[in-house]
Amino acid sequence: MPDLLDDLRSRDHVAVLTSGGVDSALLAAELASGPGGPARVVPIYVRFGLIWEADEEHALRRFLAAVHPSRAEELMVLEAPVHTVYADHWSATGQNVPDETTPDEAVYLPGRNLLLLGPTAVWCHQQGIETIALGHLGGNPFADSTPEFFNAYAAVINRALGGELKIVQPYRGLSKIEVLRRGRDFPLGLTWSCIHPVRGFHCGRCNKCAERQKAFAAAGAPDTTAYAERP
């Protein structure tokens, strides 16, 4: 039975736009580990300057070091500060961060994928990399996370750069629970979800921490995440 990543494994160069989150971190690890796969896997992290990013990037580096991905290059960090764009948005100020009582829509970051993909696409074009892989899941409700958006955005980028960039989402057919079960042999407790860190720990109370805890429980997977507080 074909695996979700078989098409990507047949390509020479793949960039994985990754945060420290379960989905994108696992995608990078899967592509770069084990037999077969692309000759070159480049994990890319984009720094916006949001309140959780120092801890998130640290978690991503720990996760990649722990899995020892054989074909992964060193993490590439691109700087794209948004403090003047986001102004007083909670993600930039740390005020009124969505907690465990808020709906999923509360954590929307305006134009996040638009902002992430711009510098990533230009960098990849300069490096001769024609595939960007994202860890987005099928349940993502936001307008800039749909296949239609990514196809249209890739077309605009290719028109601007004269390239043949492809933006792919191999986990789109999976739920968070399925991803956790798929990654059961990886140290997923080292990944990062929190949007309101406390002294380098997951706060345990924000919207994303609550989502993480529920997903681990539903997947029947041990949650070894270090929480400052667990409800």
Q: Which domains does the chain have, with CATH numbers?
A: 6-186 (3.40.50.620)
Q: What is the DSSP letter of 95?
A: S
Among candidate residues 137, 142, 210, the one with its CA nearest the CA of residue 178: 137
d(CA 20, CA 54): 10
Tokens of 120: 């990533």
What pLDDT is stored for residue 1 in this prediction? Answer: 57
Strand partners, 132: 15, 167
d(CA 27, CA 45): 14
d(CA 56, CA 24): 12
Give the SS3 label for residue 31: helix
Among candidate residues 56, 5, 59, the one with its CA nearest the CA of residue 32: 5
Strand partners, 206: 99
User: What is the value of pTM for the model shown?
Assistant: 0.94
What pLDDT is stored for residue 81 in this prediction? Answer: 97
d(CA 51, CA 35): 37
Per run of 10 residues, the mean pLDDT along the chain (length 231 residues) is 83 93 96 80 97 98 90 94 95 96 93 96 96 90 89 96 95 95 95 97 97 96 93 67
**CB neighbours of residue 4 within 10 Å:** 15
What pLDDT is stored for residue 231 in this prediction? Answer: 67
Among candidate residues 211, 192, 215, the one with its CA nearest the CA of residue 59: 192
d(CA 48, CA 185): 31
d(CA 141, CA 115): 18
